[in-house]
Amino acid sequence: MDDFVKEEIKRNRKAIKEDWRELRNFKTDRQLDLPRPEMFKQPLQGSIVIDLDKEFPNVVQKTLTEVIASRRSLRKYKDINLSKEEVTYLLWETSRVDSYKEGVTFRTIPTGGATNSMETYVYLNKVEGLEKGLYLYVQDKHQLTLLDDSKGLEEKVNNALYGQLRGAAVVFFFTATPYRTEYKYSFASHKMIAMEAGHACQNLSLATEVIDSGACALAAYIQEYCDNLLGIGEEEFVTYAVTIGKR
């Protein structure tokens, strides 16, 4: 292992073992009363917005013990559509906002200091009742807004996933907007940001078991392609991708 690689490993390890006592030595942007970052992304003016249901009468619930026992990474899927209700259920259990007030967001998943660094995007490939395309989940309003339904999108998604789409019905992309957490916790933020994506993915993986489907969490995606696909890349970027389909 050469010296450059050793230094990179050392630097990256430090990001997940910060000393919180060091935060006392200087003021964060929040303590300096700098402008607070936006809490949630919103639809662009004039874009298509789809209101989603909050009740799921056709989703037959399972126990937590059952879904934990059956959860495995699933990389092969049947050529069967998910329903709109099933996709809505996955979003509801994974990425919804339960409540919020100024600077504090309470969600279905833990988020460092209630700072909500995460946004959720979905590529709908095989879903009854929803057009094929790439969407942003508007988390505080429980809506979808269409970003892209252009031809060739499926190939772009597959390329961004490093060839791992494998006929999935849906792909979730979790992104981070780091400054939402950095505003409050500065250099100690980045471990929490990574953990937040993990919390969301676990919720999603268990929720897919409820609808008799499976998920595969992907860390081996092409960062630049994924970010370009979503129109992000600097102040917001993809941290996790998850393919989903019927068993």
Here the CATH number for the domain that contains residue 196 is 3.40.109.10
pLDDT of residue 216: 98
Other C-beta atoms within 10 Å of 47: how many?
A: 12
Distance, CA of 189 to CA of 194 (rounded, Å): 9
What average pLDDT does the segment 133-150 reach?
97
Question: How far apart, in Å, are the Cα atoms of 170 and each of 13, 188, 242?
Answer: 33, 33, 8
| 246 residue type, one letter | K
Residue carrying structure tokens 């100024």 = 102
Q: Report which of 117, 96, 115 is spatially closest to residue 104, judged by C-alpha positions.
A: 115
Q: pLDDT digits over 13-66, tens only?
A: 888 898 899 988 889 999 999 999 999 999 999 999 999 999 999 999 999 999
Is 90 exceeded by the pLDDT of residue 11?
no
The pTM of the full predicted model, rounded to 2 decimals, is 0.96
CA angle 214, 218, 219 (to 5 degrees): 155
Is 90 exceeded by the pLDDT of residue 101?
no
Is 163 in a helix, a strand, or coil?
coil
Task: Please answer whether residues 113 and 185 qualify as being in contact, where contact means their C-beta atoms are separated by less than 8 angstroms.
Answer: yes
Q: Which residues contact 30 (CB under 8 A, 6 or more apart)?
A: 36, 103, 183, 184
Mean pLDDT score of the chain, rounded to an integer?
Answer: 95
Task: Please answer whether residues 132 and 144 qualify as being in contact, where contact means their C-beta atoms are separated by less than 8 angstroms.
Answer: no
Q: DSSP state, 236?
A: S
Q: pLDDT digits over 153-175, tens only?
A: 999 999 999 999 999 999 999 99
Percent composition of the chain: helix, strand, coil (DSSP 3-state, to 5) = 35, 25, 40
Is 90 exceeded by the pLDDT of residue 96?
yes
Domain of residue 156, residue span: 3-246
pLDDT of residue 102: 84
User: In what helix (H) or strand (E) does residue 28 lie, and over which residues does it extend?
Assistant: none
Structural domains counted in the chain: 1
Task: Please answer whether residues 32 and 68 qualify as being in contact, where contact means their C-beta atoms are separated by less than 8 angstroms.
Answer: no
Q: pLDDT digits over 113-139, tens only?
A: 999 999 999 999 999 999 999 999 999
Is 90 exceeded by the pLDDT of residue 103?
no
